[in-house]
């Protein structure tokens, strides 16, 4: 399968008054053409930073890409100049943000916020861009698009705004759509609508999607593959079935135990993962999950495990995969 995006050994740090926060510490993953991939993890695990780094949207400074490659269509985004980035953003990669209430400019009409990108990337005339904006609004399911196009964000509800955001992100038919917690700020009923819309649009346009979320329910509904991040690293990847039915990493297992499942034993109580992720200002030497892991071993404190193949589709970074630990798992 053709890889549209290949991230290799990505390191991202933020320089703060307290010191260097190593938010992303050597992340590897890829996205195939037309595929929907989820990146899941708790708040602060580096998933949003990773997503924003893909478009170089992190503020630099204080942010810095310390190391690694982001190959998009075979070209390294890390090496791209500001100008080259401008022609990739919006055109080849679109992005949807978490909070539709603050992600739209309050003093511009929805229409002009959609047409901006079209005029820039596709050299459309204002009138043509406006027609396209109406078309896009229809596509994302906004009624009366001719009227809505002239309205301001405050005249839209939260769900409507997120639909408008999707219209903006998809305006130039990007090859990759990054959705950073697109449903977190929305009502549950609206969440489902937005997810359905994204699925439908993906089918229609064939775009690849990276869905950043902490909601495993959303993942199961939308995606083919899952990347689990913890403390700035990828700790497990696999297909949705791999992750849901055969999780390897104790953290992944913990995540699954903390959400209700209808397909497994319903009598099993939900258990939270105790503790908080490590402070990335002083990342631990060994595995970041050691302090919270029930199966922690001495090696976990000393050496950080690498991602190893579990099957052809699944990989995990955990010492429990090691032959010497097999009897323990």
Query: Closest distance between other proteins and the C-beta of residue 148, in Å?
Result: 14
Per-residue mark of binding to other proteins, 97-136 (x: CB under 8 A)? x-x--xxxxxxxx---x--xx--xx---------------
Residue 303 binds other proteins (CB under 8 A): yes
Total residues interacting with other proteins, rule: CB under 8 A: 63
List 32, 152, 173, 192, residue binding other proteins (CB under 8 A): 152
Q: Contact between 258 and other proteins (CB under 8 A)?
A: no
Q: Which residues of 178-189 are buried (b: 16+ CB within 10 A; e: fewer)?
A: bbbbbbebbeee
- The nearer residue to other proteins, 115 or 314, going by C-beta atoms, is 115
- Six-digit token string for 140: 């994302």
- Interaction of residue 87 with other proteins, rule CB under 8 A: yes
Residue 302 interacts with other proteins (CB under 8 A)? yes
- Stretches 83-91, 140-148, 211-219, 225-233: which one binds other proteins (CB under 8 A)? 83-91
For 122-130, the CB contacts below 8 A with 24+ separation are 122/172
CA pair distance 284, 32, nearest whole angstrom: 32
Q: Does 64 help bind other proteins (rule: CB under 8 A)?
A: no
Does position 294 interact with other proteins (CB under 8 A)? The reply is yes
Q: Give the contacts of 209 (CB within 8 A, at least 6 positions apart).
A: 35, 36, 37, 176, 177, 178, 179, 198, 202, 222, 223
Q: Please enumerate in sequence order all residues whose Cβ is within 8 A of that of 179, keeping only pairs 6 or more positions apart, or say none.
A: 95, 96, 169, 198, 209, 210, 211, 212
Nearer of residues 87 and 125 to other proteins, judged by Cβ: 87
Find out whether the peptide bond into 4 is cis, omega within 30 degrees of 0. no
- Residue placing its CB nearer to other proteins in the complex, 85 or 192: 85
């Amino acid at each position: 399968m053709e890889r549209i995006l290949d991230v290799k050994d990505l390191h991202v740090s933020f320089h703060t008054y307290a010191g260097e926060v190593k938010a992303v510490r050597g992340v590897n993953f890829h996205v195939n053409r037309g595929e929907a991939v989820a990146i899941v993890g708790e708040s602060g695990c580096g998933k949003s930073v990773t997503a924003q780094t893909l478009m170089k949207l992190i503020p630099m400074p204080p942010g810095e890409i310390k190391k690694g490659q982001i190959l998009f269509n075979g070209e390294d985004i890390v090496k791209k100049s500001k100008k080259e980035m401008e022609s990739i953003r919006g055109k080849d990669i679109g992005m949807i943000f978490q909070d539709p209430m603050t992600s739209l400019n309050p003093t511009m009409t929805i229409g002009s916020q959609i047409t901006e990108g079209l005029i820039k990337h596709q050299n459309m005339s204002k009138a043509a861009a406006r027609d396209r904006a109406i078309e896009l609004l229809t596509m994302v399911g906004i009624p009366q698009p001719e009227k809505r196009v002239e309205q301001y964000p405050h005249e839209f509800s939260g769900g409507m705004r997120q639909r408008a955001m999707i219209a903006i992100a998809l305006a130039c038919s990007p090859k990759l759509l990054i959705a950073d917690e697109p449903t977190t700020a929305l009502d549950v009923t609206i969440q489902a609508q937005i997810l359905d819309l994204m699925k439908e649009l993906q089918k229609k346009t064939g775009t690849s999607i990276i869905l950043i979320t902490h909601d495993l329910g959303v993942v199961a509904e939308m995606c083919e593959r899952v990347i689990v991040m913890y403390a700035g690293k990828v700790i497990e990847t696999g297909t949705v079935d791999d992750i849901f039915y055969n999780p390897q990493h104790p953290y992944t297992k913990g995540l699954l135990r903390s959400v209700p499942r209808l397909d497994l034993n319903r009598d099993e109580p939900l258990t939270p993962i105790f503790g908080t992720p490590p402070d990335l200002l002083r990342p631990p030497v060994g595995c970041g999950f050691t302090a919270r892991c029930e199966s922690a071993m001495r090696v976990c404190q000393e050496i950080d495990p690498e991602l190893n193949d579990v099957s052809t589709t699944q990989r995990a970074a955990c010492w429990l995969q090691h032959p010497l630990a097999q009897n323990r798992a």
